[in-house]
Structure formats: C-alpha cells, structure tokens
Amino acid sequence: MDEFFSPIHTYQVCNVMSPNQNNWLRTNWVQRDGARRVYAEIKFTLRDCNSMPGVLGTCKETFNLYYMESDRDLGTSTRESQFMKIDTIAADESFTSVDLGVRRLKLNTEVRGVGPLSRRGFYLAFQDIGACIAIVSVRVYYKKCPSMVRNLAAFSEAVTGADSSSLVEVQGECVGHSEERDTPKMYCSAEGEWLVPIGKCVCSAGFEERSDSCVGKSESPHLSL
C-alpha cells in the first residue's frame, strides 16, 4: 500500500543478500512524436539497508536510469551496452521494518530529463545493483508552449528545445484585419513558457483593437442582459 493506504501494483526486486547484482527492467518502445527532450517521472519505494540485518556489505540504496534511441521497435533484441546512463537515483525517503509492519511504504517521486532526442523513439531502462526496490509507476511526457495571441499576432503551440537552456524561435501571424509593424516573434523556453516578445501587428485602417482582435470601428460590442 502507498502512504494513503491505497493498493499499488509494482515491479520489485530485493536480492540484497547476494553480491554483484545486475538486474534490468526495460520499457516498451516509446515514440517521441516530435519532442526533442522528454521527462521521466518515476515513483518508487526503497527499503533502508540499516533495517535489514546482515546485508550491509551487499545492500544498495540506489538504482540507475538509462535510455536508448532507435527508429523502430527492436523487441527483445536490445543489449545493455546500447543504453546510455541518465543518472543514479536515490530515495528521499526509505522504508523500514516498522513501515512494513503497518503495510505502509513511503513513495518517492523523481523526475529526470532525457535528451537531446533525434530518432523516432526510445526505451528507458532501470538497473538494480542490489537494492530492495519497487517501481510503482513511470510517466513520460514532454513540454510545449501553448498557442496564444500576443500583440495581435497568433502563435501556434511549440514543442520545447533539445536541452534545458534551449530557446525555440517562433514567428507569429497577424490576426485578421491587421498587418505587421515589425515581424512578431517569441521564444519558447525549456519550461514551456513564452519569452521575449519582439515586434507586433497593428490593426488595418478602419479597424480597432479589441480583445486580441481587430474589429470594424463601426461595430459596437454586444451587450448581454
């Protein structure tokens, strides 16, 4: 059960008595759908080695996260040597025999960036080297800047760049009955936020700006009762 006493289904391993563990769990092939950088959110539990007598020489409290890119689903033909290491992941909270006694495990959540990506898809893999660990869930997602209108220019949604410092330049299109004063541009940040608006559009002759659009000056707003 998790900390809210809800039942959970996990992938788990606890070979803490045996040395030189090298256990792997691999995801299915994940298509990247144009994303150049994705994020893996991992929820897991991990047991405190000090709570298990006699395993201090072999027990570990971390696991390793890897990824591998490919243009197609390779089935079961992947090899460990093909994967690139992303990070070694440790738990902020580990559970003990006391937590086991009340059937309550402490859930950890860690997020890691994966990229830059260039192939059609990728795999994630988890390597256990001797921990007592259970992976509860893995969520893979990417970030994008939403479509919006700024300075009478419409910007379509944009996928963020390949690394944490990338700024993706996007050119806007003037809304109806408007024209460029300076070429409208904005930059999509790695966090999915629009930055640095440049240029703008202005309403054409005979039109005026109202609520991110240009309407004829003779048109009056409708009143609702």
Is-above-0.75 flag for pTM? Answer: yes
- Segment 27-32 shows an average pLDDT of 96
Cα separation, 40 vs 45, whole angstroms: 16
Q: In this predicted model, what pLDDT tens digit does every residue of 34-43 receive, in sequence order? A: 999 999 999 9
Average pLDDT, the chain: 89
pLDDT at position 224, please? Answer: 46
DSSP letter string, 20-49: S--EEEEPPPEE-TT-SSEEEEEEEEEB-G
**Given a cut of 80, is residue 5 above it in pLDDT?**
no
Query: Tokens 């390793």 correspond to what residue?
Result: 64
Residues 19, 21, 22, CA angle at the centre, nearest 5°?
160
pLDDT at position 130, please? Answer: 94
143 phi and psi angles, rounded to 5 deg:
-110, 150
Q: In this predicted model, what pLDDT tens digit does every residue of 66-110 receive, in sequence order? A: 999 999 999 999 999 999 999 999 999 887 755 554 456 678 999
- Segment 121-133 shows an average pLDDT of 96
